[in-house]
């Protein structure tokens, strides 16, 4: 811990205790009131720690160096920007002690949790809801063990939030580099190993970082990653083939399903591959839910009408039947999840399979194209006009 209570009942920040002064002061844990001692060296972050065998529920098990240093780093960064910040503040109505508490404006306190150790999904959700229900905002920042590496884990997914301009994002702190990393515009193409995202790195030691600059930077980071989509589509096809060869259960199930309907991994239409906004929220194999939805739509003849209400009912039916399974992501609302389906409808409209006839109805125009061989399909992937498929351009039909 970074803050202890001294024998004059004053809260003391370990960062402010002078070295060299002969310690006569005693320090106590603000939580369990037991005696704690100051650990202060030349290299490691100064902090207070319990004596062995403490069973303090809040500051037990010797906090890791990463956790103590990270908290101190964030604290100094906020203070540097004149953002009011309190370390390890106790919130009596929640009986919780966030790592930091800041005020970005006077109305809303913001809890910051620097998560370096494992935490059950249930506990994470309880804590998050506790903050939100009591009028706090909460930001979780992930420590070294949970930094993003190519694939998103189910643990990382718990912390993903949505922002209207930067899309899905989560935060990481790199204590060794004094850097806060924002992974944003996170999207998924085919399966869970096909994640695309942008990252911005904020050096916490630099004097000129402030929150407004960061927002600007995030918005201006290049969006010229268009060609990536072509590669991702081709990768999708090869990962389906690989899945079939290695008998990956969900791909085998998918393959069986489409065989019964006269399709194969080759004949599958392009629409089943194209990513839609927020498909990252969905655990079900993306080809599978898109195929089923497309099948349901194409049960109608061309010229027939589908209403938005019918589509949303279908969304709930698919959830009930486990044809559409979502990841456990507590920050993501049902409305946002529904937008996956809206984006898929928008995509089918862009592709000319549907046309919009009012703001709540579509008309079926044509069947999707099927393929005879893989070469033909890859050629179509490469010839696609990709501008519509970038996240910012996928229109949400309202």
Which residues are at the interface with Zn ion (CB under 5 A)?
29, 31-32, 56, 59
CB of 36 to Zn ion, least distance (A): 7
CB of 98 to Zn ion, least distance (A): 16
Question: Pick from 109, 173, 176, 158: which is nearest to 138 by CA?
Answer: 109
Q: For residues 54 and 199, which CB has a smaller minimum distance to Zn ion in the complex?
A: 54
Q: Which C-beta is closer to Zn ion: that of 38 or that of 56? A: 56
For residue 19, the minimal CB distance to Zn ion (Å) is: 24
Say if CB 146 and CB 155 are below 8 A apart: yes
* Identity of the residue, 31 or 191, whose beta carbon is nearer to Zn ion in the bound complex: 31
Taking alpha carbons only, the member of 198, 202, 149, 209 closest to residue 178 is 202
Q: Which of 31, 115 has the CB closer to Zn ion?
A: 31
- Please identify the residue of the shown chain whose CB is closest to the bound Zn ion: 56
For 60, the token pair is 């037990």
Return the number of the residue (46 or 363) whose C-beta is nearest Zn ion.
46
- Choice between 10 and 207, CB closer to Zn ion: 10
| 374, β-bridge pairs | none
Q: What is the DSSP secondary structure assignment for residue 200, as one 8-state letter?
A: E
Can you list the alpha helix ranges (DSSP code H) found in the chain?
65-80, 121-133, 154-158, 211-220, 227-245, 249-260, 286-298, 308-320, 334-350, 374-383
Give whichever of 59 and 381 is closer to Zn ion, judged by the CB atom. 59
CB of residue 61 vs Zn ion: minimum separation in angstroms? 11
User: From CA 363, how far away is CA 365, in angstroms rounded?
Assistant: 6
**Nearest distance from C-beta of residue 114 to Zn ion, angstroms:** 18
* String of DSSP letters for 111-140: EEEEE-S---HHHHHHHHHHHHHTT-EEEE
Q: What's the min distance (Å) between Cβ of 54 and Zn ion?
A: 6
- For residues 326 and 303, the answer to whether their CB atoms sit within 8 Å is no
Beta strand 167-174 pairing with 137-142? parallel
The residue (of 56 and 125) whose beta carbon lies closer to Zn ion is 56
Cβ count near 282 (within 10 Å): 20
Q: Which is nearer to Zn ion, 59 or 131 (CB)?
A: 59
Count other Cβ atoms within 10 Å, centred on residue 30.
Answer: 19
Distance set, CA 222 to CA 185, 198, 245 (Å): 12, 9, 38
Q: What is the Cα–Cα distance from 294 to 121, expressed in whole angstroms?
A: 33
For Zn ion, give the closer residue by CB, 87 or 195: 87
Tell me how far, at minimum, the Cβ of 1 lies from Zn ion, in Å.
8
User: Could you tell me the smallest distance in angstroms from the CB atom of residue 29 to Zn ion?
Assistant: 3
Beta bridge partners of 68: none
Over the Cα atoms of the chain, what is R_g? 26
Least distance (Å) between residue 7 CB and Zn ion: 16
What's the distance, CA 65 to chain centroid?
26
Residues belonging to the chain: 398
Closest CA to 30 of 13, 17, 52, 53: 13
What are the φ/ψ torsions at residue 69 (nearest 5 degrees)?
A: -65, -40
Least distance (Å) from Zn ion to the CB of residue 118? 21
């Amino acid at each position: 811990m970074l803050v202890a209570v001294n024998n004059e009942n004053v809260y003391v920040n370990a960062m402010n205790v002078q070295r060299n002064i002969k310690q006569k002061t005693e320090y106590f844990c603000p939580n369990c009131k037991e005696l704690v001692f100051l650990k202060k060296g030349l290299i490691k972050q100064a902090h207070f720690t319990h004596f062995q065998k403490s069973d303090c529920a809040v500051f037990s098990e010797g906090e890791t160096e990463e956790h103590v240093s990270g908290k101190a780093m964030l604290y100094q960064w906020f203070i540097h920007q004149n953002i009011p910040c309190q370390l390890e503040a106790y919130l009596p109505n929640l009986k919780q002690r966030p790592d930091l508490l800041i005020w970005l404006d006077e109305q809303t306190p913001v809890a910051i949790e620097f998560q370096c150790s494992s935490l059950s999904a249930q506990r994470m959700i309880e804590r998050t809801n506790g903050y939100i229900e009591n009028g706090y905002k909460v930001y979780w920042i992930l420590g070294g063990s949970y930094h993003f590496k190519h694939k998103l884990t189910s643990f990382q997914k718990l912390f993903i939030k949505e922002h209207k301009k930067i899309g899905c994002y989560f935060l990481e702190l790199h204590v060794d580099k004094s850097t806060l990393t924002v992974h944003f515009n996170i999207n998924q193409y085919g399966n869970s190993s096909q994640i695309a995202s942008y990252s911005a790195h904020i050096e916490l030691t630099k004097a000129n970082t402030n929150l407004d600059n960061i927002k600007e930077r995030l918005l201006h980071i290049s969006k010229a990653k268009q060609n990536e989509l072509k590669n991702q589509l081709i990768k999708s096809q090869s990962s389906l083939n690989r899945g079939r060869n290695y008998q990956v259960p969900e791909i085998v199930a998918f393959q069986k399903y489409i065989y019964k309907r006269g399709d194969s991994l080759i004949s599958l239409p392009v629409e089943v591959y194209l990513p839609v906004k927020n498909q990252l929220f969905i655990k079900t194999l993306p080809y599978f839910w898109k195929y089923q939805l497309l099948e349901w739509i194409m049960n109608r003849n061309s010229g027939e009408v589908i209403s938005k209400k019918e589509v949303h009912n279908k969304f709930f039916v698919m959830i009930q039947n486990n044809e559409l399974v979502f990841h456990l992501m507590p920050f993501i609302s049902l409305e946002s999840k529904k937008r996956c389906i809206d984006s898929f409808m928008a995509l089918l409209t862009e592709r000319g399979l549907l046309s919009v006839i009012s703001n709540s109805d579509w008309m079926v125009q044509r069947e999707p194209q099927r393929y005879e061989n893989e070469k033909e399909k890859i050629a179509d992937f490469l010839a696609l006009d990709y501008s519509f498929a970038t996240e910012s351009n996928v229109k949400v039909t309202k």
